[in-house]
Structure 1
Amino acid sequence: MNVISVREVETLADRAHAGQTDKIGVPYIEHVRAVAAGLSPFGDELVMAGLLHDLLEDTDWTAGRLRETGVPARVVEIVEAVTNQTGMTYDEKIRRITADPRATLVKIADNAHNSRPDRAARLPADKRERLAAKYRSARARLWPAADRNDVEAVIRVINPSLLAELDARY
């Protein structure tokens, strides 16, 4: 079986998320593209994982189908690591993610994009505050699980407003 390219993975993600919008009404593909862009310094494997990071929980795609399509096995493993599992709390999910350095970077990128001030400003105040607390708490566990320079590389691309928080933590 042939391994598919980043461009083919982006097309797959675009088709799979067609018609979906995020919490602020933006086409969902824009979120996964932003996550992937923040992971570009780390190579094609993480770019692919960024493009696919929400596919298993937000579409009818399965890990098996991704493998059959030619998505590299390691990319599928990373996607599975960041995917919500029934009965698993968010804290348990973060703990599982931090056990895998590559999955940790994907989740850091996802968190950074979800934490962008311009995106948060478009949410109702109560939801904005609840999510901000959730994302801050996750960062407190995700960032120490990764190399500081890698965290900085991701957030510099996706959400530079987090740089002051990063500096305060290190």
Structure 2
Amino acid sequence: MAEPALADVDALAARAHAGQTDKIGVPYVEHVRAVAAGLAPFGTGLQMAGLLHDVLEDTPLTAEDLLRAGVPSAVVATVRRVTKVPGTPYEEMLAQIAGDHSAALLKIADNAHNSLPERAAQLPEAHRLRLAGRYRAARRVLWPAVGEADVRAVVGLVNPGLLAGLG
């Protein structure tokens, strides 16, 4: 089976997330597309992982389904690395992600999109403040794991306002 094109993986993500909305009511596929767009400087494989980064935890699809669909094993491995595992504390998951450059870049793009002020503003204040603290703590772990140039490349595309606090 030939490796799917980026458009094929986008269509797969759209089907997988069909009918889902994010916390502010936007079709969920728009979030994964924004994450993928932030990963463009790092190649098609990482963009594919961005499109698929939530399918294992938020849809019935499995890693085996992705492999059967022709998604490259390296892409599936990155998606698995950023997928929450029940019983694993968030801080431990972040430390594991930080040990893998591709996974860290993906999680940085995800964090940056989730931290957009216009998205956060639509959440209830208590929820917004809790998430803002969680996202700041995650950036303290993830950003040093990839280096400033890579942070600038991703965050500059997804949420440039976050760069104000960087060097």
Q: TM-score, normalised by structure 2?
A: 0.99
Structure 1 partner of 2:43: 43
**Aligned pairs, number:** 167
Structure 2 partner of 1:24: 24
| Percent of pairs with identical residues | 59
* Cα distance in 2 between the residues matched to 1:147 and 1:126: 32
Q: Displacement of 1:43 after TM fit? A: 0.4
Other structure's SS at 2:91 match: helix
Other structure's SS at 2:150 match: helix
Q: Displacement of 1:2 after TM fit? A: 1.7
Provide Cα deviations, 1:120-140, integer angstroms capped at 9, x if missing partner.
000000000000000000000
Structure 2 partner of 1:109: 109
Q: Displacement of 1:66 after TM fit? A: 0.3
Q: Displacement of 1:166 after TM fit? A: 1.9
* Cα distance in 1 between the residues matched to 2:165 and 2:20: 31
Q: Displacement of 1:165 after TM fit? A: 1.6
RMSD value, Cα: 0.6
Structure 2 partner of 1:143: 143
Q: Which amino acid aligns with 1:135?
A: Y
5+ residue gaps, structure 1, are: none
Q: Displacement of 1:147 after TM fit? A: 1.9
* Cα distance in 2 between the residues matched to 1:75 and 1:12: 14
Q: Displacement of 1:79 after TM fit? A: 0.1
* Cα distance in 2 between the residues matched to 1:39 and 1:145: 16
Q: Displacement of 1:142 after TM fit? A: 0.2
Q: Which amino acid aligns with 2:25?
A: G
* Cα distance in 2 between the residues matched to 1:143 and 1:79: 19
Matching of residue 67 in structure 1 with residue 67 in structure 2? yes
Other structure's SS at 2:137 match: helix
Matching of residue 153 in structure 1 with residue 153 in structure 2? yes
Q: Which amino acid aligns with 1:5?
A: A
* Cα distance in 2 between the residues matched to 1:30 and 1:3: 23
Structure 1 partner of 2:5: 5
5+ residue gaps, structure 2, are: none
* Cα distance in 2 between the residues matched to 1:94 and 1:111: 12
